[in-house]
Structure 1
Amino acid sequence: MATRPPRTARLSREAIVNAALTFLDREGWDALTINALANQLGTKGPSLYNHVHSLDDLRRSVRMRVVGDIIEMLNTVGQGRTPDDAVMVMAGAYRSYAHHHPGRYSAFTRMPLGGDDPEFTAATHDAAAPVISVLSTYGLTEESAFYAALEFWSAMHGFVLLEMTGVMTGIDTDAVFSDMVMRLAAGMRHR
């Protein structure tokens, strides 16, 4: 018979969201249920409903936290750098985040980004702000920088997915990644 983890001292919404983030990286998005998370926390599912309204509410909170973490990370690593260096370190940080937090990354990218939730839609647009800020330093207009940020994200996301699904086995992915990011940066200079 499986043993149950020790009961946590006190549940709170923040503790539940933090536990869900850890759970995601270990088990994945599809495995995240109220009962599975409650079991991890050493309690029963109904206890979590004192702090989260539903599984959708929990997943939305997790996604909002992930978006916030990504924004903070990109802002932090890009500060005070030359444009090319900022693009390179932001791309590397994004890639590293995806590899170190695969469940969180999945929460960020796999479900529709926005929809009928204005707060979440705004948060996902804010996630592009650090990249837009750096790309603007290449002399791009605000609109051009926005579209360039979409290109940047598309390239990063595509590369990360190819890596994570094993498509790039046997390839020096670090070298390919660096070359791709530098080509993106060079393209920004020539716009």
Structure 2
Amino acid sequence: MATQPSSTPGRRPARLSRDSIVNAALTFLDREGWDALTINALATQLGTKGPSLYNHVHSLEDLRRTVRMRVVGDIIEMLNTVAQGRTRDDAVMAMASSYRSYAHHHPGRYSAFTRMPLGGDDPEFTEATRATAAPVIDVLASYGLEGDSAFYAALEFWSAMHGFVLLEMTGAMHGIDTDAVFTDMMMRLAAGMERR
């Protein structure tokens, strides 16, 4: 008699919930990438069929949006944690290093984070992505920056990190001491904040 396929031989698939599906999607993203994330592909990973996921997520877009929101929340928490008790150059380097590490350890999640622009069609996601600037703005206050100056500096900070990470992840910096270049870049940014 044939047995039903399962993600682990001899065991039934784990009970599904919205959280378990989102967690599985996060793992899937880092292994397979954003474009590979479909309801059926994720269901296969979970040892079930696509229609059973629709009891917990409304659509693929609902799943992807929820994943993006979770990633944004994780990045905000990470930045707040590493910046706690730090100021100025020490805080800038800690945040930049953690951001870079997150992108390399979670490439699929990082891709999800950067999929929608700051001024996209989803107001809640737009607000959440803007909130990722808050930990950086708090650190920039230790340089005396505030208001629009702090917000623009936070965008510059993110742009530099994001651009560098993308160049690294696409192999454009092969053969270069990227750690040294990254540290130098961030210290130049910090020096610019100091001069402001």
| Same fold? TM cut 0.5 | yes
Aligned residue for 2:192?
Answer: 187
What is the 5 A alignment of 1:152-163? 152-163=157-168
How big is the shift at 1:27? 0.1
Aligned residue for 2:7?
Answer: 5
Equivalent residue of 1:43, what SS? Answer: coil
Aligned residue for 1:165?
Answer: 170
Contact 1:114 1:124 in 2 (8 A): no
CA distance in structure 1 between the partners assigned to 2:93 and 2:31 by the alignment: 28
Aligned residue for 1:50?
Answer: 55
2:114 paired with 1:128: no
Partner amino acid for 2:7?
P
Q: Give the share of equivalent positions with the same residue, in percent.
A: 84
Deviations 1:26-80 (A, max 9, x none): 0000000000000000000000000000000000000000000000000000010
How big is the shift at 1:110? 2.7
How big is the shift at 1:98? 0.2
Aligned residue for 1:147?
Answer: 152
Contact 1:99 1:164 in 2 (8 A): yes
Give the count of matched residue pairs.
Answer: 189
Contact 1:91 1:181 in 2 (8 A): yes
5+ residue gaps, structure 2: none
Contact 2:14 2:46 in 1 (8 A): no
Equivalent residue of 1:22, what SS? Answer: helix
Aligned residue for 1:93?
Answer: 98
5+ residue gaps, structure 1: none
Which deviates further from its counterpart, 13-22 or 110-119?
110-119
CA distance in structure 1 between the partners assigned to 2:110 and 2:14 by the alignment: 29
Aligned residue for 2:69?
Answer: 64
CA distance in structure 1 between the partners assigned to 2:121 and 2:115 by the alignment: 16
**Normalising by structure 1, what TM-score?**
0.96
Contact 1:135 1:145 in 2 (8 A): yes
Deviations 1:132-163 (A, max 9, x none): 11012111122100000000000000000000
Aligned residue for 1:177?
Answer: 182
Equivalent residue of 2:143, what SS? Answer: coil
Aligned residue for 1:36?
Answer: 41
Q: Greater CA radius of gyration, 1 or 2?
A: 2
CA distance in structure 1 between the partners assigned to 2:119 and 2:109 by the alignment: 17
CA distance in structure 1 between the partners assigned to 2:120 and 2:174 by the alignment: 35
